[in-house]
């Protein structure tokens, strides 16, 4: 059975802000004092964080003082954000949030009973308090992600890798789950630059990064470790499974169609793999992956070597 859905669009320009009750007290719902107080409280509470998940959790909790809901979902594709609070209901109403042409995501309210017109008006009035906190949070998230991304390959940079690796090691130990690293290096990359130019080399780096990401799960992470080296962090992945992933990456990188001015570039990659040992440090885990990569290079390249 198809789930009943109500769809609305909220454009937070000045006219709409007035329509939602800012500057026009006469347009407020039946109990303006209650809504006004709640909106004021939301305005203060939501400004205390730049974390989208915290902002939406507080918003979901507080609006239920006025309109009971079963769930709230939020999606913002550009930021790769998908958040959900509560349990899904049979009925839903969605709002596309925007400000001066800037898309701020889609918000979906759910509950088992259909929302009444009066409740929709109350929700729309309270949504206005979410505008600027979410806009600030999305801007901060974009700036933070930019600082942690390699601009050429759109993978994580060394700063992001340093922050993430120790966190993943701690999590693996806490949950007693395996963790593996793959160190991938493009074979004879200097020759590509020398023969075809640095622009072609940059295109190869982007293509290899794309091939890597296309073979991984959403929970796996890719970082540009050096000029032509990438580090792949495989959470909840043991030695044998990591070896299978490594071979898949090697094949995917090799079968890409790399060209420079119509000339095909033959390309292979070498990989080293290490799996976290008991009480092992991040430095040791990285060093063992790097040593395994050196073995793969020494034994003829275009292969995967496993750390002992």
Cβ contact 106:75 at 8 Å? yes
- Looking at residue 89, its pLDDT comes to 79
Q: Is the dihedral of CA 116, 119, 121, 124 positive or negative?
A: negative
Domains of the chain: 5-145 (3.30.450), 150-306 (3.30.70.270)
Task: Pick the more confident residue, 307 or 24.
Answer: 307
- Look at residue 10 and tell me whether its pLDDT is greater than 60: no
- Look at residue 187 and tell me whether its pLDDT is greater than 80: yes
- Catalytic residue numbers, as ranges: 228
Rounded percentage of the chain residues whose pLDDT exceeds 70: 89
Give the tens place of pLDDT for each residue, 100-159: 888 999 999 999 999 999 999 999 999 989 989 999 999 988 888 778 889 999 999 999
Kindly list the distances between the CA atom of residue 179 and the CA atoms of 23, 191, 220, in Å, as whole numbers in the listed order.
55, 34, 10
- Looking at residue 40, its pLDDT comes to 85
The residue-averaged pLDDT of 181-191 equals 96
pTM: 0.61
Give the tens place of pLDDT for each residue, 65-75: 899 999 999 99
How far apart, in whole angstroms, are the C-alpha atoms of residue 302 and residue 268? Answer: 5
How far apart, in whole angstroms, are the C-alpha atoms of residue 2 and residue 23? Answer: 40
Which tokens in the block code for residue 184?
């991938």
Give the tens place of pLDDT for each residue, 211-256: 999 999 878 899 999 899 999 999 999 999 999 999 999 999 999 9
Query: Could you tell me which of 300, 180, 185 has the C-alpha nearest to residue 249?
Result: 185
């Amino acid at each position: 059975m198809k789930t009943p859905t109500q769809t609305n669009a909220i454009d937070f320009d000045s006219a709409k802000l007035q329509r939602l009750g800012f500057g026009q007290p006469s347009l407020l719902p039946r109990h303006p004092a209650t809504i006004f107080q709640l909106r004021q409280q939301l305005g203060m509470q939501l400004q205390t964080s730049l974390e989208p998940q915290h902002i939406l959790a507080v918003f979901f909790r507080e609006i239920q003082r006025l309109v009971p809901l079963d769930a709230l979902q939020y999606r913002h594709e550009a930021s790769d954000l998908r958040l959900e609070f509560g349990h899904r209901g049979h009925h839903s109403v969605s709002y596309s949030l925007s400000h001066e042409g800037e898309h701020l995501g889609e918000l979906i309210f759910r509950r088992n009973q259909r929302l009444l017109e009066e409740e929709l008006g109350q929700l729309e009035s309270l949504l206005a308090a979410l505008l600027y906190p979410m806009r600030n949070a999305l801007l901060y998230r974009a700036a933070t992600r930019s600082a942690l991304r390699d601009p050429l390959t759109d993978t994580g940079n060394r700063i992001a890798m340093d922050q993430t690796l120790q966190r993943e090691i701690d999590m693996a130990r806490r949950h007693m789950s395996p963790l593996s690293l793959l160190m991938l290096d493009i074979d004879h990359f200097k020759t590509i630059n020398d023969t075809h130019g640095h622009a072609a080399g940059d295109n190869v780096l982007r293509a290899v990064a794309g091939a890597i990401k296309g073979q991984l799960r959403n929970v796996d992470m890719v970082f540009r470790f050096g000029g032509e080296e990438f580090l792949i962090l495989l959470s909840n992945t043991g030695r044998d499974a990591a070896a299978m992933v490594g071979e898949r990456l090697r094949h995917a990188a090799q079968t890409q169609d790399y060209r420079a001015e119509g000339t095909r570039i033959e390309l292979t990659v070498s990989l080293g793999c290490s799996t976290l040992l008991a009480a092992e440090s991040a430095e040791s885990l990285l060093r063992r992956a790097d040593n395994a990569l050196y073995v793969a290079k020494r034994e003829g390249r275009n292969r995967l070597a496993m750390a002992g």
